[in-house]
Amino acid sequence: MPSAARRHRALIDSLTASGALGDRRLAAAFRAVPRHFFVPLHGAATASGSPLDADRAPERWLDAAYADEPIVVQVDDGDPRRPEGVPTSSCSAPGIVARMLEAARLQDGHRVLEVGTGTGWNAALLAARLGDDRVVSVEIDPEVLEGARAALVRAGRTPRTVRDDGESGYPEGAPYDRVIATCAATRVPRAWIRQTVKGGLVVLPWTAMEGAGVLARLTVHGDGSASGPFLGGLGFMPLLSQRPPPAAAPPPEAEPDETRLLHGPDPVAPLTRFPSAFGVTAAVRRWRMGLRAVPGGAGRQLWLVSSDGESWARVVPSGTAWRVEQAGPRSLWDEVEDAREEWRALGGPAPERYGLTVAADGGHRVWLDTPDGPGWDQE
């Protein structure tokens, strides 16, 4: 398919020119594995929801396959915890895939466990870089895994693929030099660390709260702990076992225990900008937030709710001010304000200045600049 080959070459040229692909051996793997083999001919969609069909609109399908954008390949995997219409599997954007694989610092001879086979493209890239016998990929969804296996055959790659819950890793193939997760985790599974050699790396999207994710690269230590920096923001679908239940906004008729007015700058905006939102979410435990239209009025209100549903807060436009309402045993808005002020006092650090330590007993601590710097225990 000459049109596909031309697009493929242009994509990899763009990734190398931008610096996203700096590792020569990794770039060669990208050139050896066409992405369109891993995009379903029918039933996929762009990130904006536009359907893709290789028979009805082949050029458009190829354009999407070689764009630096994600492609949704599954919606609604049957999990009752997820609202209908939510994507549950995708072929990640090539630039993001390159970024994660570059972060893994792959070397000849490495053995890799991939958690989340998805479409199989990432597993194929790993196999092309390291050798098929050096890669194990685990996928929990049987339908997704079946599609990945068929795509791997089309691409001529034969990494080991296993249907299993990736949270448990894959002890039969351990130890690994690298564990790479293509799903987000709030709690780094102990199995991933135990199954990685001392000095090996666990690379994963980590999130304190759904929607505020970062790329983490953790080095495994001899005492069973792991630590390392965050390498900037990115978003991935959560590990199945760690999917949070849908967060319900407090009903409009809910009566607050406390009401007060705020004057000055928009207090909601910092929670809609990633750098400041990340600093807050790392410091405030067990909560969710969202935005919704103001009932019967203009503008939008911010709502917050604790993970146990016992506490909530609303921040609602009120003329030139903002009305804060909160109820329950926790004063959630006060906690958010305190965290935001702490972030400002620290100089407004970007997410790249933070990192994570997972202790041998499983405790998680987010830190600033160094593991011994200011930190926030996670629960």
Closest CA to 187 of 200, 202, 206: 206
Query: How far is it, in rounded angstroms, from Cα 75 to Cα 54?
Result: 19
Helices (H) and strands (E) in the chain, counts: 9, 19
Name residue 114's beta-bridge partners: 137, 180
**Quick check: is 92 catalytic?**
yes
- How far is CA 314 from each of CA 190, 256, 338, 340, rounded to the nearest angstrom? 36, 9, 16, 17
Residue where the block lists tokens 């983490």: 216
Active-site residue among 89, 92, 137, 276?
92
Other C-beta atoms lying within 10 Å of the C-beta of residue 306? 20
Strand order across the 42-46 sheet: 51-53, 42-46, 71-75, 87-91
List CB contacts of 78: < 8 A, sequence separation 6 or more: none
Residue whose pair of structure tokens reads 């045993």 in the numeric block = 329
Catalytic positions, please? Answer: 92
